Structure 1
Amino acid sequence: MPYHEALAEQFHVYAPSHPGFGASDRPDWIDRLHDLAYVYHWFLDELKLGPLPVLGFSMGGWLAAEMMAMYPELIRRVALVGAAGMKPSEGEITDIFLMTPEEVAELRFYDKSQVPQYDELFGQSPTPEQQQMAVWDREMSALLTWKPYMYNPKMPFLMAQVKTPALIVWGKQDAIVPLHCGERYAQAISGAVLKVIDQCGHSPQFEKPQAFLDAVLPFLTAH
């Protein structure tokens, strides 16, 4: 993705496909988001990567929040983008598992005409193999994020202990994870900065790529 390329101009970028997603096997013991956080502790330890900056989107933002609560010594700074994991006290996180993938793609953006790669990413008919992989990924996502749906009730208390520098990036018109969740993250994490991007939905890295990079790059490169 273009934002990967932009980040790779200043960082060595790891963009992992999580265990149980894509072509990987589904580990029997992974059934909650914090189980994945253990996996990434082992990953960082094995490759001797920490401390390092972490960038997480949506469910991956929730994962990044769990990571910095569990092993802050390996995380230098964190940017959470439209992150799940925090229960809104107003409104609710949209249940994407009650919708078709096409409906979710439509809901993901405030204005899809702003997305330079919309047709390339979302406008093509998937192959049977891609359809099957999408079903597999959807099942794994549901397993990790169900009951309660898309949040950890302990998150406000976990984030209150965090001292890691944090940037919270949100599309103002996010129709999947409401902006109120971002405000709660910013309130809970000491010193966190909330950057709201107007006329933007759930995925600013696609819909407002320059505004997204303008917010994230200076933060991630800071010392």
Structure 2
Amino acid sequence: MSVPGIDVPDARGRTGLDRAGRDLTGNPDVVVRDVHLLASSWNVLRRTTLARRRRDGAWLTEQRDTYDAGDAAALLLHDVERGTVLLSRQFRFAAYANGHPDGMLVEVAAGALDGESAEAVARREAEEELGVSVADVEHAFDAFMSPGAMTQRIHCFAAPYRPADRTSAGGGLADEGEDIEVVELPFSEALAMVDDGRIADAKTIMLLQWAALRGPFRG
């Protein structure tokens, strides 16, 4: 019987999705025994059976479910002269379902790589979501967002902007269902929103704190 995503293409044209992890050799204390594809309607959910050697030498057999949304890039736009950052506000159902009051999250511009370079995606998302064409882009750091269950790593960047760099109203791509509000904030207010929970998105919190500690707003 043919299975979409394994031996016949799934909705995104992918096959062999059950092969991920089978060839890993970087850790001699971990041996992947089997990979079972659970879902691949858009992102990929797998259940992997592995043997893992504990520090006391005993081997354990474990199962781990991993959600593969692909790597992504994020970009913090900052204007040091005016002391502002440019962010987005959009609805996130997963956050809404897990207790966020209305699911409307304030975030930096971000998007999936889908085969492009991280910097190219960061630039594109700034233009699509926030309507800004950026010139100089600085790599800040890379981070695994939820390594207990998600494979995703986000490549985080920062770039200066000026009012003259606003080339469109932004808002995202309507044909992809995006409905994004552009939010310009004083950097001090953005940090206060982290403190009181109004900004609760991890990549945004990390980039704002990087900007304060090591980036353009460092003391």
TM-score range, shorter chain: under 0.3
TM-score by length of 2: 0.23
Bigger proportion of residues as strand: 2
Q: Which structure has the larger Rg over C-alpha atoms?
A: 2
TM-score by length of 1: 0.23
